[in-house]
Every structure is written in structure tokens, then in C-alpha cells.
């Protein structure tokens, strides 16, 4: 059972995991150094614990204790209890959903182990927006994608904003970090997948045709701004496009992923 600890001082050193949540750079450093990540909201906190991430601590206002009592019963971590106004001072923002947890990261699995047994995976190049990463994981989970691979510069799925937007899908969809950017797609092809790059390239086929009849497929998506790098575009086995109205900017990458995953799952 988590030990409840009443807190009345925003400067209490035990709260260091929860400081300045709106400062992305500071959080990145802090979370990497201490191997932690944050979950926000009753539902997401619950899912993090249920999927086996050990809690370092909890932070919440008194009114959230009852709803999470069963979760707190399973953990020995301290639970810092404080008024919402104090929580806002610590975190630097209004904690809409009341409950926070600081959790321990686990070592990521290898690319090979994530690909073994998978039939449909998504490969993300440099998606730097945490909201988009979270949205992609949510869609991937809902539509039944088996795993996600991330390029070295792709944003962290366990950053608070990604976790929140994904509604916890980052806990359930296996993912791994690619170490070698240049040969990442040949590596996936060598593992038995046909890599299909979403692109506006001239030789791109309509996505439904591009994936028709394929066995193992890796859908490859690039950054919000510029799309895939030339290297990834050219080192993919196939190039595919989602047909769009003339003269319109492309779909948002999260929307494009949802459409592409749906069609690929039904190939």
C-alpha cells in the first residue's frame, strides 16, 4: 500500500520528479538522468501500473485518492497529497486530471525482438512533436498494428504529452529505437518486411495498391514539416501516397498514419 504523505511546501525536495513540467528541455534532461517518466490522469496512471511500470511516487489532490485506491494498494511508492493550488506551483501548470505518477522506465527491447512475430509495423523517422507521436501510438493500438520503430531523432513516446495523447497506448504497443539512421530501412527489409514509405514522390503508388497482397509490412512515415529524408524515401522498398485533393497541403502525419494503418491492416 502506498504511503500517503501530506505536503504543504511546494519546495519540498521529495517533489523533484514533478518540477516545471512545461519546460521541455529541462524535463528531457531530468527524465533521462533519472530514468523516469510521468503519467497524468487517473486512467493513464492506472494503465501504467497495470502494464507493469514500477511507480517511484504519486502526486495528487485528496479528491483523487478514492478513485485510485485500488492502484495505490498495489504499490509501495510514496503518494504525495496536496491541494491542487500547491500541485500547480510545483508542476507549473494546472493539473486538469488531478493525479500524477512518476514511473520507472524499462530498458527498451531490441529492434530484432520487436520485429520478431510482428506482421505490421510502423516506422517513424523524425517526428519531433510529442502530440503527433502520442496520436500515432493511439491509432496504431486501436487499429491493431504490432509494433513501432523510432528513428534516432524521433520524439520520446514516454514524454508526458505523448503519454497523455496516446491514452496510455505507449505502454501496450511494443516499440524500439533504431540506432543506425542511414541503414534503418534496409535493416527492416532484411528482417523480412516490405518497407512502404508514405511520400509525395513521383513514383508513389496509391497506398491500397502498394500494400495489396503483401505479407509483412513496415509503413514508413516522416516528419511533420518536410516528410521523409531523401535517404529513407529512396531506401524504402516501395513508395505510396494517400490520394488527396489538388492544391491542398498534406494530411497531418497523425491523420495520414491512421488512414495508412487502416488500409494496411486490411490488405
Binding residues (CB under 8 A) for its own copies: these are 135, 138-139, 141-144, 165, 167, 169, 242, 244-245, 248-252, 254-256, 258-259, 262-263
DSSP state of 129: -
Least distance to its own copies from the beta carbon of 243, Å? Answer: 8
Q: Where are the alpha helices (DSSP H) in 22-165?
A: 24-34, 42-50, 69-73, 84-91, 111-115, 130-143, 160-165
Closer of 91 and 235 to its own copies (Cβ): 91
Closer of 168 and 228 to its own copies (Cβ): 168
Nearest residue to 77 via CA among 100, 98, 61: 100
Q: Is 238 helix (H, G, I), strand (E, B) or coil?
A: strand
Closer of 127 and 141 to its own copies (Cβ): 141
Least distance to its own copies from the beta carbon of 248, Å? Answer: 5
Closer of 130 and 138 to its own copies (Cβ): 138
Least distance to its own copies from the beta carbon of 141, Å? Answer: 5
Least distance to its own copies from the beta carbon of 201, Å? Answer: 17
The residues with which 205 forms a beta bridge, in sequence order, are: 240
| Contact between residue 198 and residue 240 where contact means Cβ atoms under 8 Å apart | yes
Least distance to its own copies from the beta carbon of 246, Å? Answer: 9
Q: CA-to-CA distance for 144 and 64, rounded, in angstroms?
A: 32
Q: CA-to-CA distance for 42 and 40, rounded, in angstroms?
A: 7
What phi and psi, each to the nearest 5 degrees, are found at residue 90? -70, -50
Closer of 80 and 171 to its own copies (Cβ): 171
Count CB atoms within 10 A of the CB of residue 144: 14
Least distance to its own copies from the beta carbon of 119, Å? Answer: 13
Length of the chain: 267
Closer of 107 and 247 to its own copies (Cβ): 247
Amino acid at each position: 500500500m502506498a504511503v500517503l504523505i501530506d505536503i504543504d511546501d511546494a519546495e519540498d525536495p521529495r517533489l523533484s520528479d514533478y518540477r516545471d513540467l512545461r519546460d521541455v528541455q529541462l524535463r528531457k534532461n531530468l527524465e533521462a538522468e533519472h530514468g523516469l517518466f510521468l503519467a497524468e490522469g487517473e486512467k493513464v496512471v492506472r494503465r501504467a501500473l497495470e502494464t507493469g511500470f514500477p511507480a517511484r511516487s504519486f502526486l495528487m489532490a485528496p479528491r483523487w485518492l478514492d478513485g485510485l485506491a485500488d492502484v495505490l494498494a498495489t504499490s509501495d511508492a510514496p503518494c504525495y497529497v496536496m491541494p491542487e493550488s500547491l500541485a500547480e506551483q510545483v508542476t507549473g501548470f494546472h493539473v486538469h486530471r488531478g493525479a500524477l505518477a512518476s514511473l520507472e522506465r524499462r530498458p527498451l527491447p531490441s529492434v530484432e525482438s520487436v520485429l520478431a512475430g510482428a506482421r505490421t509495423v510502423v516506422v517513424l523517422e523524425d517526428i519531433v512533436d510529442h502530440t503527433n507521436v502520442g496520436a500515432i501510438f493511439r491509432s496504431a493500438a486501436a487499429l491493431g498494428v504490432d509494433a513501432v520503430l523510432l528513428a534516432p531523432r524521433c520524439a520520446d513516446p514516454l514524454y508526458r504529452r505523448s503519454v497523455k495523447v496516446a491514452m496510455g497506448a505507449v505502454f501496450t504497443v511494443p516499440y524500439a529505437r533504431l540506432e543506425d539512421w542511414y541503414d534503418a530501412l534496409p535493416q527492416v527489409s532484411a528482417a523480412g518486411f516490405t518497407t512502404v514509405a508514405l511520400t509525395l514522390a513521383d513514383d508513389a503508388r496509391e497506398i491500397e495498391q502498394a500494400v495489396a497482397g503483401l505479407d509483412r509490412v513496415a509503413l514508413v512515415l516522416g516528419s511533420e514539416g518536410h516528410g521523409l529524408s531523401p535517404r529513407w524515401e529512396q531506401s524504402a522498398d516501395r513508395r505510396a501516397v494517400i490520394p488527396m485533393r489538388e492544391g491542398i497541403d498534406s494530411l497531418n502525419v497523425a491523420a495520414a498514419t491512421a488512414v495508412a494503418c487502416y488500409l494496411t491492416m486490411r490488405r
